Amino acid sequence: MNIGWDMVDIPPHKDGTFEFVSRWLQAVATYPQGHRHVCYANAAFRRAVSLPDAEAFSWRIAGDWTGGYQLRREGFYLRHRAEIRQQIDVLVSVHRPPLVWNGKSIAIVLDCTRELFPMKRGVKAHLMTQARDYGARRAGRWLAISEWTRRDAARLRGYDLNRIRSAGIPLATLEDRPGTGPSLPASQSGGIDRPYAFYCSTVTPRKNHMRLIRAWMRAFPNREMLLVLAGRVLPGTPPEISAAIQQAETEGFVRSLGVVGDVERERLYAGADFVVYPSLCEGFGMPVLEALRHAKPVLTSSGTSTEEVGGAAVLLCVPASEDDLVDKLRQVAADESLKARLRAAIPGVLVRYSSENVARQLHSGIEFLASLQ
């Protein structure tokens, strides 16, 4: 089968979508399993993604990452529609296929957070959401990044569960990431001089920072453990969340680093006593896999996809319960037998997210969805 990947409007800078998409492309390029993959992308995205040389993978460049890229994307597929129909059997797109595309297509579902955590949106954002919904429903075939998101898409968006398939995200090794070297103790970077837990996440209401900080101050009132935060504040985030982080930092409970680079992030994972990820809702939860790759105990949320991703290698908490967070924080910090049990389960979890296994899931799901009428 010839599979097209619609990446014209994927940004070249590092964010969750870029990371997820680039890992999928790396997986299918390494393990093509008889398929031919064609990536329709902007030139900046092509430069930013490192892929192994593979005869089964080729690029078609559609301009560069510039203003008005949504319209440029539609224009590219309009101009080259006949040619692309000859090159591929099915087009796989993040969120929705191009509105001008009338061939067979599959829409990728990253999460359903906007249904669970609606935010005020401007006219442009509203129109984009409506276009995505229309394009996805017109495709009538969906690929979800986790089984949890697959069920959410059926429950919250009304998608036909029989027309959705799920696939995980391959676990990148240090060597998979350009510019990343061996992990070093975080104390060698940033001057962290006491035991700490690491939370790597954007700052937005669903990431649960305020409840986590309150629970942290109760769990470790003597400041024997530090909470280290990394990640940017998303637009529209209520200012009281940033204020709570700043106040906790002033009082010595928290160290907030903002955006950190790949090497620094790896060092922070390597030096942490444990990792926390108590998000209220996730489509997948990549930081959980990042922590497990470093053999770190992880405290994460029940009732969302991180429960699925972490399996037996994570300790679960009720993210909406501050009391439960306090109890589980104390437990993961002090219980060495628990940490040993979690670490022992890590290899069995990570093997599910090898590039080969994920590529097999992807191909199986695409083959099934492409066969639907």
Question: In the predicted model, is pLDDT for residue 42 greater than 80?
Answer: yes
pLDDT at residue 299 in the model: 98
pLDDT at residue 301 in the model: 97
Domain map (residue ranges) of the chain: 2-170+354-371, 174-353
**pLDDT digits 0-9 by tens, 157-199:** 999 999 999 999 998 654 444 333 334 444 444 578 899 999 9
pLDDT interval class at 14 (50, 70, 90): low
For the chain, give the mean pLDDT: 89
pLDDT at residue 120 in the model: 66
**pLDDT digits 0-9 by tens, 95-128:** 889 999 989 999 999 988 888 877 666 776 677 7
**pLDDT digits 0-9 by tens, 308-333:** 999 999 999 999 999 999 999 999 99
Cβ count within 10 A of residue 24 = 24
Same fold, 2-170+354-371 and 174-353: yes
- The fraction of the chain above a pLDDT of 90, given in percent, is 69
Classified as helix, coil or strand, 233 is strand
**pLDDT digits 0-9 by tens, 246-257:** 999 999 999 999
Annotate 177-227 with DSSP letters as a single string: STT------GGGSS---S-EEEEE--BSGGG-HHHHHHHHHHH-TT--SEE
pLDDT at residue 173 in the model: 52
Residue 106 pairs with which residues in a beta bridge?
A: 92
CATH code of the domain made up of 174-353 = 3.40.50.2000
**Cα radius of gyration (the chain):** 21
pLDDT at residue 175 in the model: 43
**Tokens 């909406």 identify what position?**
320
- C-alpha 150/C-alpha 142 separation (Å) is 9
- C-alpha 246/C-alpha 241 separation (Å) is 9
Question: For the chain, percent helix, then strand, then coil, each to nearest 5?
Answer: 50, 15, 35
| Candidate ranges 114-123, 164-173, 231-240, 277-286; pick with highest mean pLDDT | 277-286
pLDDT at residue 78 in the model: 94
Least confident piece of the model among 92-96, 180-184, 339-343: 180-184
Query: What φ, ψ does residue 101 adopt, rounded to 5°?
Result: -80, 125
pLDDT at residue 19 in the model: 86
User: What are the helix and strand counts (H, E) for the chain?
Assistant: 15, 13
**Separation in Å, CA 115 to CA 153, 158, 209, 247, 353:** 10, 12, 20, 31, 28
Tell me which residue of 303, 295, 297, 310 sits closest to 352, measured CA to CA. Answer: 310
Cβ count within 10 A of residue 175 = 8
Annotate 131-172 with DSSP letters as a single string: HHHHHHHHH--EEESSHHHHHHHHHHH---GGGEEE------
Tell me which residue of 104, 101, 89, 99 sits closest to 141, measured CA to CA. Answer: 104
pLDDT at residue 130 in the model: 77
- 2-170+354-371 under CATH 3.40.50.2000, yes or no: yes
Top-confidence residue, 189 or 17 = 17
Tell me which residue of 110, 179, 197 sits closest to 146, measured CA to CA. Answer: 110
- C-alpha 4/C-alpha 40 separation (Å) is 7
